Chains A and B, each alone.
Chain A
Amino acid sequence: MLFQRINRTDAETVFTIVYNISAATVTAGYPVVWDITSPDGVSVSKPATATLSCLVGIATSDIANSAYGKVQVYGYKASAYVTNNVTTAIAAGNILIPVDAAWTLAYGAASDGKSGLVYAAESFATATTTLLAAANKKVFIRCL
Chain B
Amino acid sequence: MLFQRIQRSDPEVIYQIVYNLAASSAVITAGYPCVWSIASTVDGLAVAKPASATLSLIVGIAVQDIANSAYGKIQCYGYRASAFVTNATDQAIAAGDVLVPVNAQWYMTYSAAGDGMAGFIMSAEAVATDSAPAAANHKVFIRCL
Contacts and interface: CB of A to CB of B under 8 A. Distances in A.
Interface string B2-29: 0110101111111000000000000000
B113 A108 contact: no
B98 to A, nearest CB: 5
Interface string A19-59: 10000000000000010100111100001111111110000
B118 interface: yes
A39 B145 contact: no
A54 B141 contact: yes
Interface residues of B, number: 33
Given A1-B3, A50-B94, A98 B11 contact: no
Contacts of A1: 3-4, 6, 12, 14
A interface bracket (residues with beta carbon within 8 Å of B): 20 to 34
A117 interface: yes
Interface string A55-86: 10000000000001000000000000000000
A1 B3 CA distance: 7
B8 A19 contact: yes
A16 interface: yes
Which one of B4, B79, B114, B119 has the highest number of Cβ atoms from chain A below 10 Å of its Cβ?
B114
A108 B119 CA distance: 14
Nearest to B4: A1
B65 interface: no
Contact of B8 (A17, A36, A40, A50): A17
A4 B115 CA distance: 30
B11 A42 contact: yes
Contacts of A144: 14, 77, 143, 145
Given A16-B12, A49-B113, A53-B117, 13 more contacts: A19-B8, A41-B13, A41-B80, A42-B8, A50-B94, A50-B95, A52-B116, A53-B96, A53-B97, A53-B122, A54-B96, A97-B115, A144-B143
Interface of A: 1-3, 16-17, 19, 34, 36, 39-42, 47-55, 68, 95, 97-98, 108-109, 115-117, 143-144
